[in-house]
Amino acid sequence: MLPRRSRLTRPGDYRAVMRRGEGPPRIRRRAGTELLVVHVAMPAPTLPTRPPRVGFVVSKAVGNSVVRHRVVRRLRALVAQRLALLPDGCDVVVRAQPPAAGASSAELAEALDHALGRTVLVTS
């Protein structure tokens, strides 16, 4: 489980990360694989820092409710293990693609590491 301070909870926060041009000045990046897409919004250097926050988007295209919740639980556990690697002040949205429903945890971990490496590590 992610700590409360590390979760995106408001719809406006999700929009600010996933759509360019909304919210305070930020550096936005996106990277993906066939299993998931990671959207990252890094704060401008002048903004105060806070712990990183993470949110998840899993649409009905991934599967029924049971499948979607299973995917979210697995992604949440994987992100919790990598939370310390995320820079302060960044917001991350992990969006699952339909093939994520049949992927193993190892495949999801590999896809997450690849996408985070292309977004977070490039901008820091």
Q: Where are the domains of the chain?
A: 4-123
**Which class does domain 4-123 fall in?**
alpha beta
Residue 29 β-bridge partners: 40
Q: What pLDDT is attached to residue 77?
A: 96
CA distances from 31 to 4, 38, 45, 76 (A): 25, 5, 22, 18
Question: How far is residue 85 from each of residues 34, 52, 96, measured CA to CA in Å?
Answer: 23, 10, 21
Q: Which residues of the chain have pLDDT under 50?
A: 123-124
- Structure confidence at residue 48 (pLDDT): 63
pLDDT of residue 23: 59
Phi, psi at residue 37, to the nearest 5°? -125, 135
Q: How far apart are CA 115 and CA 31, in angstroms?
A: 5
What is the model's pLDDT at position 124?
45
Which pLDDT belongs to residue 46?
Answer: 64
Closest CA to 91 of 33, 28, 45, 46: 28
